[in-house]
Structure 1
Amino acid sequence: MVTDMELAALAVRLTDEAGTEPLDVGRLLAAFVESVRRLVGTQGAGVQYVPPGDVEVRTEGTSTGLRALTADAAAWGEGPGYEARTAGRPLIDLDVTGRPARVRWPRWVPRAQALGLARVTALPLADGDATVGALVLHGGPGFSLGEPALTRARAFAGMGADLLSLVRAVQQNRDLVGQLEHALTSRIVIEQAKGVLSVRRNVTVDEAFTLLRNYARAHRRKITEIAADITEGRADLHAL
């Protein structure tokens, strides 16, 4: 059974990755699958992740071969990770060496077997009511994911999904703050330019803005660009 210490150790590592600047989701996913592989005791692990409202599938794996297989499976729309992600249902300890698996996943199975993989478990990653990805655990011949290991894997999948949701919220907030900062900076520059024009052209502030806006339209430039030229002394004020 997964211990509080193991969960805490994984949480610390993933939180450290999530706190890097700039935020790198790829590094976070890589740290996630490697930690899960080690703590659950599987031969390898992979992950597919698609944030809500996005279309790009982010993938990672614990080896070069698994990284390539996980990415190709997402592109093919095939394999246990794709099924768990799109159907929102787990696939537990499946044998992928027989004919049923080859019929089900004709491109994925030969590649998996070439990597020495024989059994697979895929667990959905949920963000609220939406399934945003899947954690895939790979084992070699003779490997079987027992109940204690499966319990650990489920706990780690839940933690990973929660952290990815938090990272997405943080990124959205960062983007919003950046947009607001840009808008505020632009507004300040425009107000400064209006003041300069008002004094230099002996017009009201409203008239100065009209001059600024008309000039920008006539020359197909942004008002903020013209305003910056004015405040930085690059503009011919009599041309406005």
Structure 2
Amino acid sequence: MQELLRELSRVALAERSLEEVLGEITSLATRGVPGAEATSITLVRDDKAFTAAYDGEMALAADELQYEQGYGPCMDAGRGGVVLRVDDVHTEERWPEYVARVRATPVRSSLSVPLPYQGATIGALNIYSTRVAAFATPESLAAGLDVAETIAVAVANADAHWRLGEQARNMGLAMQSRAVIEQAKGVLMAQRHVNADQAFEILREASQRYNRKLRDIAQGIVEGTQQR
């Protein structure tokens, strides 16, 4: 666990996509649980579950089968905050529609552990194996719990960092759009001898008429002026 903590502390967040960061975290999780052959991170937002990252196609395939059915161990672990272990999909009786389909994949056993963060559950760490009862030992269960608790903080931090970056990018785009619209209004005011409100109304009507974004109409006016 100390080595996992050290490696997680070295995961770079800057100038990387959320998918890249979570992919690296998931790969580290695979190495931290005895018996793990593939892992994935399921995040739950607005009661909707999705695979944010995975290490091994087997994990992604099993996750997606659960999303199609609307239930399964990883979804229930992420939503309910409970640890769910499947020792053998061929004898498992819970989630009948899911296990009936997952039997066609290499998955034979799995362990789904909730990701706890600040008193809530943000998703689940899903661990898969091609062997029967790969996670039935106390060591595997303890490692799964420790790894999930450890990476939950890293996942939450990576998600928060990405959201802040998106907000900054969106704000920058909004400011650029406003600047272009103001420039276009200035051009129209000079060319058509109208006031600011009338210039904006011309832009709005053109946007509706041509079914184009207001910013694109404004950009076209500004660029047309610069080319003259």
> Please, which of 155, 162, 166 is the counterpart of residue 157 of structure 2?
166
SS in 2 for 1:185: helix
> Please, which of 171, 179, 182 is the counterpart of residue 188 of structure 1?
179
Greater displacement, 169-178 / 199-208:
199-208
| 70 and 195 in structure 1: CA distance in 2 versus 1, 3 angstrom threshold | closer
2:124 alignment counterpart: 134
Deviation, 1:181, is 1.7
1:8 alignment counterpart: 6
TM-score (norm 1): 0.71
Identical positions, percent:
25
1:85-96 alignment runs, 5 A limit: 85-91=78-84, 95-96=87-88
Is contact 1:61–1:70 with CA below 8 Å preserved after alignment?
Answer: no
Is contact 1:60–1:71 with CA below 8 Å preserved after alignment?
Answer: no
How many residue pairs are counted as aligned between the two chains? 224
How much is the aligned-residue C-alpha RMSD, in angstroms?
3.6
Q: Which amino acid aligns with 1:126?
A: P
* CA distance, structure 2, for counterparts of residue 142 and residue 215 of structure 1: 65
* CA distance, structure 1, for counterparts of residue 38 and residue 49 of structure 2: 20
1:67 alignment counterpart: 60
1:121 alignment counterpart: 111
1:82 alignment counterpart: 75
Q: Deviations over 1:136-155 (max 9, x none)?
A: 33453464554454443223
1:25-104 alignment runs, 5 A limit: 25=19, 27-53=20-46, 55-58=48-51, 61-91=54-84, 95-96=87-88, 99=91, 101=92, 103-104=93-94
1:157 alignment counterpart: 148
> Please, which of 67, 91, 95 is the counterpart of residue 105 of structure 1?
95
* CA distance, structure 1, for counterparts of residue 194 and residue 52 of structure 2: 59
1:225 alignment counterpart: 216
Higher relative contact order structure (alpha carbons within 8 Å, sequence separation ≥ 6): 2
| 54 and 163 in structure 1: CA distance in 2 versus 1, 3 angstrom threshold | farther
Q: Deviations over 1:115-144 (max 9, x none)?
A: 3735x4321113444433222334534645
Q: Deviations over 1:154-183 (max 9, x none)?
A: 232123222222232223222322222222
Deviation, 1:87, is 2.0
SS in 1 for 2:6: helix
What are structure 1's unaligned runs of at least 5 residues?
A: 236-240
Q: Which amino acid aligns with 1:76?
A: Q
* CA distance, structure 2, for counterparts of residue 59 and residue 89 of structure 1: 19
TM-score (norm 2): 0.74
Structure showing greater Rg: 1
